[in-house]
Structures are given as C-alpha cells and as structure tokens.
Amino acid sequence: MDTMLEARLQTQQRNTQNSQETSLWSSGFGMKLEAITPFLGKYRPFVGRCCQTCTPKSWESLFHRSIMDLGFCNVVLVKEENTRFRGWLVRRLCYFLWSLEQRIPPCQDAPQKIMESTRVQNVISGRVPGGTGEGQVPGLVKKEVQRILGHIQAPIHPFLLRLFSWALLRFLNCVFLNVQLHKGQMKMVHKAAQAGLPLVLLSTHKSLLDGILLPFVLLSQGLGVLRVAWDPRTCSPTLRALLKKLGGLFLPPEANLTLDSPEGVLARAVVHAAVEQLLVSRQPLLIFLEEHPGAKGPRLSALGQTWLGLVVQAVQVGVIPDAMLVPVAITYDLVPDAPCDVYHALAPLGLWTGALAVLRSLRGWGHSPRVCVRVHLAQPFSLQEYTINARSCWGSRQTLEQLLQPIVLGQCTVVPDTEKEQEWTPATGPLLAFKEEDQLLVRRLSRHVLNASVTSSAVMSTAIMATLLLFKHQKLLGEFSWLTEETLLRGFDVGFSGQLRCLVRHTLSLLRAHVALLRVHQGDLLVVPRPGPGFTHLARLSAELLPAFLSEAVGACAVRGLLAGRMPPEGPWELQGIELLSQNELYRQILLLLHLLPQDLLLLQPCQSSYCYCQEVLDRLIQCGLLVAEETPGSRPACDTGRQRLSAKLLWKPSGDFTDSDSDDFEEAEGRYFRLSQQSRCPDFFLFLCRLLSPLLKAFAQAATFLHRGQLPDTESGYTEQLLQFLQATAHEEGFFECADQNLAISAIWTFRDLGVLQQTPSPAGPMLCLSPTFTSRENQEKLEQFIRQFICS
C-alpha cells in the first residue's frame, strides 16, 4: 500500500510540473504539491510608506531598510517564554501571568487638570460669548462640567483592564487562527513613540471588534493603554460605562448643538480640554476614519473627522508641538460579526447582546473554520510637517455639475483643467466651530490617511477567491496562484501563504455558505456561487481586491469608452487592436471616468492632481502589457531624446504642478499613439479589469434608466428603497446580482445629485428629491445613460 501511494504521489508531481494550471482539484486534495510563497525575490513587499510629497522628512527619518527583514508575529500566541516565570504551572497559567505583567500607567489627576484648563475656565467665568457661565452660579457650571466630563471618559480601572485582557486573549485564540503583525511596522511605531510626541492612530473600521482588538494588540507590544474614540450610536449606556473604564472616549451629545447654544459652547470647551490633556500626557489615541459597519451613507466618518480636528487644533494653538499620525488597518478573512446582510440598520450593541455574541462564537468553535486577521501599521508621519506642506497643494476645484454635465449633454467636449470638489461627509460637532480653511485641512488629511491605510492593507484569500468565482474562472488552482502573483507585483501584500491546495480548501470552507460544491466526472469538484445574496456577499469580498488593480481598471474602462464610439463592443479583439488610440484621447476618457466615480471609491491623495493620476493609469496599462506604443510615420520615436533641446525649456517640474505653462508638453503628446496588445492573455485580462468596476457602473446605468420610472418627489430614503427594488428586480432578470446593493444605490443617488440630475427641495416633511428641470426630458436621461454605459464592458 505504501508503495502504491508513493507511486501515485510521484505521478501527480510529474503531472503538476508539466501543467502549472490545474482546472480543478482532484480527490487527492490534501497532497502538498504546489506552494504559494508570497515573496517577490527575497523580500515580501513592504507596504505603508508615508507620502513623500507631503511629509518628506518623516518618509526618510522614520524608516530603515533593516525593518523589511523582520518577520511576522502572532499576537495571540502567548507561551511560557512571554512571561518572566518558567515551569509546568506557568505553562498552564501563562495567559493570566501575561495579563498581570502588562504595563498600565498610573491614572493621573486628569479631571482636575481639565477643570483648570484655560478653555473651561473662560466658559465658567463667562469670558466666552454665549458661554454657560454668563449670569449663572460658577458652582452649578462646575457640576455641569463634571457631568459632561463623565460622559466623555472615566478613570481607567487597572484590575478590570487586566481581567478583560486575559478573557479577550482566551476568546481571540478560540475565534481566530492567528492575529498577524509585522515586526518591522511595529518597530517604526516604537521609533516614533521615542520622539516624545503623542501617537494618534487613524484606522479603517471593518468590524465592531476593531475597537477591542487594536488596544489589545498595542498593549501587548508595550505601547500602553490605547484610548479609543467610540461612536456612541453603536453602544448602549451600560456598554459605554464599561468601555470608558477600559480607556474609551465618547463625544457628548451637547457638542453637536448649534454654535450659539450655551450648552454646546460648554461641551465643546470640555471636549477640547479633555483631548488636549490626553495629548499632553502622551497617551496614544485611536480614531476610526471610516463609518461603523452597517452604516448607510458616506465612507468617511463625520465623528472621526471631528476627533481628528480636535487633534489638529491642539497642534495649531501650540498645546503640543507636534503629533505623530499612524495609519492603521485591520483585514479579516471574514468579518466575524457580519450578519447575512451587513447593511441592515444596526441597533446599539448592549452588554448582554455582546455577551451572547461571544457565547455563540465559542459555541461554534471547533465546528467552523477559524479566520485569520492581519493588523497593519503604516509609517508614522508628522502632523506639523503635513500641515505646512499640504496647504501648498491646494488648487481650484469645481463641482461635478460644472465639470461633467455640459459634456454629458453634448454641450461641450473639453474637460476643464480643475479638480473635482465632492464631499459627502457632513461637518458636525466641534468641527463646525473651526475656520473653513481648517475644516478643509481636516477633510483632506482624513482622506490622505485613509488612502494610506487602504493601500497598506493585505489582500486576504477570500477576496481573491470571491473575485475568481464571480468572474467564472474555472481553473481555480492556477488562477488563484496567478492572481496572487499579480497582486504582489503591484506592491500590495497578501495575508496568507502555504500549500496552494490547502489554501483553496480553507478559503472555500470559509465561503461554504455562499458557494455550492458539485462533484463532476473523475472526482473533480465544480464550485458555483449561490444566486441572490451569495453573489452580493462575494461582490463585497471582491471589492477588497479593487485598490490593488484600481488604476488598471480605470484605464481599461476608459479604453472601452474610447472604442465604444468606433466599433461594436462585441467585435473581435484583433479588430479592436487595429484602432489607434492617441494619448490625449486616453487622457480625456480617464478624466471623465475619474470625475464620474465617487471620491469614496477612488480615495485619491489630495496632493495628487488628476492629470498626474491619468499619467499613472496610462503607465500601468503599458506596464501590464495591455497597451503598446505605436510610432506614426514621420514622427520622432518616443525613445529618441537626442534631438531634444535641453536648454530651450525646463524639463522638470514639481509633482502635480500642471498649469497653463505645461500646454507645450501636452501638445507633444498629440503625436503619441497606442494600440491594444495582441498577446493571447490580454483579452481575458482586459475583461477582468473592466469587471472590477462593473457593479458600480451598472448600478449607475440602471439608476439612469430608473429616472423615468421612479416616483418623484420623494425623500432620499424612500427613493433609495425604490431604486434598490429596481436593482434587485433587474438582477433577477439579467442574473447580475453584484449591483443589487444598497450602498451602490446610495452612491448612485448622491452622484446624480452632485451631477445636477437630482435636486433637493425643502418641504414640511424634510428635504425631498426631485428631477432637475434639465433632466426631466427623456432625451437627456438617455444621454446620461449612454454616457455611463460607454465604460461598461459586457
């Protein structure tokens, strides 16, 4: 029997060497035949460098090449070696001993210092116009200050924190396979903390567990107790009381009152004083820049921008000389607390509800596969340095209606040389009290940091598998390896490694609720996504892969739009490859698509102009082999630089400095042409890139179709429900379920509102949506739909 098994293994190994792409996996699923090693050459791609344009000093000083050699550590793997003690009893009590050894700084007299701060004293004495202290007894005002301060924070309870850390460590080991953290990233954060400046961690928000997991990770790495800015809407009063004793911070409801409200003036003064005292004591602060999971609306959190604005204000007034900002991200194989439809409205999480969720997770332990988690800490950078350099990158901006509406209606063909101004996150709370210039600084800083967090996030195996299943790839093993390699080549990390077959089996076990496994001939398995909610869930997982291929996807859809007016979309690839594509035409199509796509999806760095991004998109298309340069007869080759007159004009310019003086450079681009490559892999790769943006673009196109069917005027929530029902009905007819998503419906409505298709009118029941006079005609509605559909590749 052993001889037969060895012979079978040798035969399968030879077959694997002859054919790298395996259509499906055979019954020998557990054979360790192929391995995925997510390294390019010797090193894994090191991600998370800060912006060299906005923070060049931080980019150079807080990074060293040696940190790339450091590996990963499993934060929840605590052994005898992690404690000061040894012995058989220590091995059984290592979790408890580890929690006792964690360094928790002593609780300082923060309430008294906050009460004595200049801001609060000015309000109490009545020196601030509109303050609560005007005409009132100071003793009553002090009691009100103490009440507001009790709503914001509470003294940290060391024993409760140690007990909670011990329980959380046991829980995480039961739920997660591992929680990986790069040691080099942690070394950068430690180096920034040694500068004597407060650390402010700005994170994405994928799960309600993030606010508990991140403080645990940083406490275990010796950074002390992390103060977390929680959203009061997601927690019940009982849970808020517990979280405050563990280091939580909550914005009082009075802080969101109007600027002339006495209660609002006092609450904002107390919040400012509390944040300033926290920063002066150099306690690390965690702020979530994304909305909480399940929130409907903009991606950027209004509450997160408020907390970030308080930090910016503290630096500007000189309370602290500077602060170190650290972009943070957490990625999961599967989000642990996501229900079947994560976008349903979530009720505030109570203490007993959370306890029941923990019990359900522990009950399923051993019956369901455990997920992997990656914590990403990008390179820290100086807030003061960013504030000085970022203001020089501000230029003129126009609304989406000014940029795109004349082109959509055929009234104009030239794209204005300005950036798009699109802000979906409302300014609330203390941020409204800032000057308009400071509000703009906070908005762009939050978008810049969120871009850094997303680009430093690792792509998990579930995102790659969901993408392959949605696009109906049949060679799962070979295509999984190919897509992993393509992701690494683009400078994005992946959150897995190991034997290929084991990875695919583990990933499919995680997705078993959304896929069906069908056994076909010769013991092979066919993996089919389940229709309906299964497609929608896979589409959400697939969206995690989009940042890695976003530039190429935008470029491919722009090329599709350029060819749409020249030949039918179903034409053969060889016929499309004959067409010459000028560089100026490509620039124009890319710009049109960039203006159409929401800022929450693109997350472009504010310091990068659209024309710089157009060149980056074109470079990516050339690098991946989709476009090849075509020299026209009589033109100077693009590689010929010998006849360029270097003294005639300055050949270098600052990054992003595209002004009228650069028109000569764009005139030179008129003679540059490209063709679609005729390599055998290009048609499939082109279709793959186009389909990455298909869910959003198809939702926009169907929203344009729905304009003459919807019942308007209606409230925004009511019209969103109408559009969602139409998307779901169309999905059942066409079999394309990826666009039947409520967030896509909201994005389409908000984009149409910015474009001037829909407009809001006041009414007794609140703001109502209605069609603008320009788009009441069916002809203009069809022009809008045609403009969107040119970018969709069927």
Q: Contact, 204 vs 453, CB < 8 A?
A: yes
Indicate the pLDDT class of residue 454, thresholds 50, 70 and 90.
Answer: very high
> When comparing pLDDT for 393 and 787, which is higher?
787
Check residue 752 and give its pLDDT: 96
| pLDDT tens digits along 107-122 | 666 888 888 888 888 8
| Beta strands in 668-767, from DSSP E residues, in sequence order | 673-676, 758-761
Is it the case that residue 31 has pLDDT exceeding 70? no
Q: How far apart are CA 25 and CA 465, in angstroms?
A: 14
133 token code pair: 């202290």
Is it the case that residue 32 has pLDDT exceeding 60? no
- Segment 776-794 shows an average pLDDT of 93
Q: Give the distance from CA 267 to its chain's centroid.
A: 32
Fold match between domain 459-537 and domain 695-790 = yes
Q: How many residues does the chain have?
A: 794
Indicate the pLDDT class of residue 344, thresholds 50, 70 and 90.
Answer: very low
Check residue 279 and give its pLDDT: 94
Q: Is 674 left (phi over 0), alpha (psi -120 to 50) or beta?
A: beta
| Beta strands in 380-432, from DSSP E residues, in sequence order | 381-382, 397-398, 419-420
What is the identity of the amino acid at 737?
F
| pLDDT tens digits along 686-743 | 999 999 999 999 999 999 999 999 898 999 999 999 999 999 999 888 878 888 889 9
Indicate the pLDDT class of residue 198, thresholds 50, 70 and 90.
Answer: very high
Q: How far apart are CA 286 and CA 308, in angstroms?
A: 10
| pLDDT tens digits along 405-421 | 999 999 988 888 788 88
- Write down the CATH number for the domain with range 695-790: 1.10.10
Is it the case that residue 39 has pLDDT exceeding 60? no
Q: How far apart are CA 750 and CA 767, in angstroms?
A: 14
| pLDDT tens digits along 283-334 | 999 999 998 877 787 889 999 999 999 999 999 999 999 999 999 999 999 8
CATH 3.40.1130 fits 56-123+142-338+367-391, yes or no: yes
- Write down the CATH number for the domain with range 459-537: 1.10.10
767 token code pair: 């703001």
Check residue 657 and give its pLDDT: 46
> When comparing pLDDT for 532 and 219, which is higher?
219
In the chain, the percentage of residues whose pLDDT exceeds 70 is 80
Q: How far apart are CA 659 and CA 399, in angstroms?
A: 19
List C-alpha distances in Å: 215 to 328, 339, 754. Answer: 12, 24, 39
Residue boundaries of the structural domains of the chain: 56-123+142-338+367-391, 459-537, 695-790
Burial class (CB in 10 A: 0-12, 13-18, 19+), 134: middle
700 token code pair: 């926009």
Q: Which residues pair with 178 in a beta bridge?
A: 372
Mean of the per-residue pLDDT values of the chain: 82
Is it the case that residue 467 has pLDDT exceeding 70? yes
List C-alpha distances in Å: 728 to 340, 402, 742. Answer: 16, 32, 10
Query: Which stretch of DSSP H or E encloses residue 566?
Result: none
String of DSSP letters for 16-31: HHH-S--SS--S-TT-
405 token code pair: 């509406």
Is it the case that residue 339 has pLDDT exceeding 80? no
